[in-house]
Amino acid sequence: MLHDVILIIGVASILGTFVGLEVDALFLTATLTILSFSVHDTIVVFDRIRENVAFKRPSETFEDIVNISIVQTLPRSINTQLTTLFTLTALLLFGGATISDFVIILTIGLIAGTYSSIFTAAQLLVVWEHREWQTWFGRRAEPAPAHS
């Protein structure tokens, strides 16, 4: 979620400098909507990982399970985002100048949120599972307990 917020604020800063985008109540609404989409996508991916861990075969590693789970949820996520993008495109074309900034921020955030929930959050879960983050701070990583 932090990734999504930082990206949205960065894009809004650039657009504010060059195009004159203003941060207002619609910007806050777009930010909160993007966060909710991102959280929902992340929950769907993590729930699929949880379901697939329950049916793990002995030859599969945790990375394999995460990869399989991402492949299983990818069509659903793409379909959801495309449906929303079609609606946002219609709002951009027919909605008028009042909500155009809202739609632009929402579109950029929707793409970034989908990317982060599918490709970033799942990889952070693998890092967390193997406790690789401990080696980043100078400590030796201990093996993660085996799932039963």
Residue pair 7/107 in contact by the 8 Å Cβ criterion: no
CATH number at residue 74: 1.20.1640.10
| pTM, rounded to two decimals | 0.79
Question: What's the domain range around 101?
Answer: 2-133
Q: Is residue 11 part of a domain?
A: yes
- Does a structural domain hold residue 82? yes
**18-43: pLDDT as tens digits:** 998 888 899 999 999 999 988 988 89
At 52, the pLDDT band (50, 70, 90 cuts) reads very high
Domain count, the chain: 1
Check pLDDT > 60 for residue 116: yes
